[in-house]
C-alpha cells in the first residue's frame, strides 16, 4: 500500500450512535466516493468510543451497527481496506511511542479537551479537569496513530476533526525531526468537504441533522418507526386547501432530496396552489425514504444478524491492514532503538 501508485485516503468512524440520514449524506456517501480516486481505508474507531461509552453491550452494538451500515451503503471490502481499530495491535504500541514525542502543551490546546474544561468552568466547578479521563486527553495521539500507521496521504474529516488531522501532521513532524534519518512518517493532509452544500441535510427541527441536536432520522428504522418520526416533524397549521410556501418546511426540503423528480414537482405545485397538506407531504417523504433505503436496510439486517459474515469481513480486513502496519512498526522500533 505504501509504495504503490495511488494515494491513500483514510476514514475513521467512531461508533457512538445509530446511523442516521445525516451521516449517510454527510459522511458515508462522500467517503465512499473517494474509493474511486484513492486507495481507500475505512476503520471503526472502537477504542476512541471507549472514552465515552461504558456499556459493553452498547459499544459492541454500535461497532457492529456502524460497520454494517457502511457495508450496506456500498462499502466494498474487496476494493478497500475495512477493519476495526481494536484488531490492529500495532496501534497501541505506536500510541506509546508517539506519546513520547508529543508535547503535553499540544494536548492542552486540543479543542475537545478545552471545550470540556470550558463546560466545567461554566458549571462553576473548581477542578476544570473534573470528568476528564486520560483517554479523552490522549485522544488526538491515538487518532494520529490511526492515520500515520496506515501511511495515509489524505484524511477526509468534518470541521470538528480538522485540528486532529493537523495534530497528526505535527506529531509526524516531531517524530521525523528526531528519527528522520532512519524512518519518516508521511505527513497527512485533511480534506474538508464544503458545508452548506450537497453534504448537509437538515434535521427534523431545521437545524443541521446531528445526534447532538436530537433531530435525526434513523437510516435503517422499520417502516412504522420511520413513519412515526416523519409524522412528528413540526409543520405550520396552514390548512390543506390554503397555498403554502414549500421552501419554508423541512419536510419538503427533505422530500426534494429523496423523492423522484415527478413527486417533488407535483408536491411543490400542490403546496403552492393549495390542496396538498403537510400530512400528505410527510406521507410522500416516508414513501420516498422507504423506496430508497429498503434494499440497504435488508442488507443491513442480514449483516447485523448474529453469526453473519460481518465479523469475518472485519477480521479479514484487519489481516489486510496489518500487512501495512506490522512492517511499519518494525521500522519505527528499529529507528528508535527498541528490540
**Residues 309 and 302 sit within 8 Å (Cβ to Cβ):** no
Identity of the residue, 48 or 284, whose beta carbon is nearer to ligand TRP in the bound complex: 48
In whole angstroms, the minimum distance from the beta carbon of 110 to ligand TRP comes to 11
CB of 273 to ligand TRP, least distance (A): 44
CB of 35 to ligand TRP, least distance (A): 15
CA gap 224, 23 in Å, rounded: 21
Query: Three-state DSSP class for 196?
Result: coil
Nearer to ligand TRP, 155 or 288 (CB): 155
Distance CA 272, CA 283 (A): 18
Helices (H), the chain: 21-23, 29-33, 46-49, 56-72, 90-99, 104-108, 111-122, 134-149, 162-179, 223-231, 250-258, 261-273, 278-304, 310-336
* Residue 312 beta carbon to ligand TRP: minimum distance, rounded to whole angstroms: 23
Distance CA 164, CA 32 (A): 21
Of 308, 295, 293, the residue nearest 64 (C-alpha): 308
Task: By CB under 6 A, name the binding residues for ligand TRP.
Answer: 10, 12, 14, 45, 48, 143, 146-147, 155, 157, 161, 164
Which H or E run includes 78? none
Decide whether 190 or 259 has the Cβ nearer to ligand TRP. 190
Residue placing its CB nearer to ligand TRP in the complex, 77 or 156: 156
Neighbouring CB atoms inside 10 A of 225's CB total 11
In the complex, least distance from residue 162 CB atom to ligand TRP, rounded to whole angstroms = 10
Q: Which is nearer to ligand TRP, 21 or 149 (CB)?
A: 149
Which three three-digit cell numbers place residue 268?
Answer: 411543490
- The number of angstroms, rounded, from the C-alpha of 238 to the middle of its chain's C-alpha atoms is 38
DSSP state of 218: B
- How far apart CA 336 and CA 252 sit, in angstroms, is 59
Q: At 293, list the grid cell.
A: 433505503
What is the closest distance, in whole angstroms, from the C-beta atom of residue 275 to ligand TRP in the complex? Answer: 45
- CA angle 72/158/324 to nearest 5° reads 65
Residue 319 to residue 134: CA distance in whole angstroms:
29
Cβ closer to ligand TRP: 211 or 299? 211
Q: Say if residues 142 and 48 touch (Cβ distance below 8 Å).
A: yes
Q: Which residue is nearest to ligand TRP (CB)?
A: 12
Minimum CB–partner distance for residue 144 and ligand TRP (Å)? 8
**Residue 168 bridge partners (DSSP):** none
Cβ distance to ligand TRP smaller for residue 155 or 169: 155
> In 150-195, where does DSSP find H-type helix?
162-179
Of 17 and 202, which CB lies nearer to ligand TRP in the complex structure?
17
Q: Which is nearer to ligand TRP, 162 or 290 (CB)?
A: 162
**Shortest separation between residue 155's beta carbon and ligand TRP, angstroms:** 5
Nearest-approach distance from CB 42 to ligand TRP, in angstroms: 10
Amino acid at each position: 500500500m505504501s509504495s504503490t501508485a495511488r494515494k491513500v485516503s483514510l476514514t475513521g468512524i467512531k461508533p457512538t450512535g445509530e446511523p442516521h440520514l445525516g451521516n449517510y449524506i454527510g459522511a458515508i456517501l462522500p467517503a465512499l466516493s473517494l474509493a474511486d480516486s484513492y486507495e481507500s481505508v475505512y476503520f471503526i474507531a472502537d477504542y476512541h468510543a471507549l472514552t465515552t461509552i461504558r456499556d459493553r453491550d452498547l459499544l459492541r452494538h454500535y461497532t457492529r451497527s456502524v460497520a454494517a451500515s457502511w457495508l450496506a451503503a456500498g462499502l466494498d471490502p474487496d476494493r478497500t481496506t475495512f477493519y476495526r481499530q481494536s484488531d490492529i495491535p500495532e496501534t497501541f504500541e505506536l500510541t506509546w511511542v508517539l506519546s513520547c514525542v508529543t508535547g503535553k502543551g499540544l494536548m492542552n490546546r486540543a479543542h475537545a479537551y478545552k471545550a470540556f474544561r470550558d463546560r466545567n468552568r461554566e458549571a462553576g466547578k473548581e477542578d476544570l479537569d473534573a470528568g476528564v479521563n486520560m483517554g479523552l486527553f490522549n485522544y488526538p495521539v491515538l487518532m494520529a496513530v490511526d492515520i500515520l500507521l496506515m501511511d495515509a496521504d489524505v484524511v477526509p474529516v468534518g470541521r470538528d476533526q480538522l485540528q486532529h488531522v493537523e495534530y497528526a501532521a505535527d506529531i509526524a513532524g516531531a517524530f521525523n525531526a528526531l528519527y528522520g534519518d532512519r524512518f519518516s512518517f508521511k505527513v497527512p493532509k485533511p480534506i474538508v468537504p464544503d458545508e452548506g452544500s450537497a453534504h448537509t441535510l437538515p434535521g427534523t427541527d431545521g437545524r443541521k441533522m446531528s445526534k447532538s441536536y436530537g433531530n435525526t432520522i434513523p437510516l435503517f428504522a422499520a417502516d412504522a418507526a420511520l413513519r412515526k418520526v416523519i409524522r412528528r416533524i413540526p409543520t405550520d397549521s396552514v390548512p390543506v386547501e390554503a397555498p403554502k410556501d414549500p421552501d419554508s418546511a423541512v419536510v419538503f426540503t427533505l422530500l426534494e432530496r429523496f423523492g423522484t423528480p415527478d413527486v417533488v414537482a407535483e408536491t411543490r405545485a400542490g403546496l403552492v396552489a393549495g390542496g396538498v397538506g403537510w400530512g400528505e407531504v410527510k406521507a410522500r417523504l416516508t414513501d420516498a425514504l422507504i423506496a430508497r433505503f429498503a434494499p440497504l436496510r435488508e442488507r443491513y439486517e442480514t449483516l447485523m444478524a448474529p453469526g453473519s459474515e460481518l465479523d469475518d469481513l472485519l477480521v479479514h480486513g484487519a489481516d489486510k491492514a496489518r500487512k501495512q502496519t506490522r512492517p511499519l512498526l518494525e521500522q519505527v522500533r528499529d529507528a528508535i532503538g527498541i528490540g
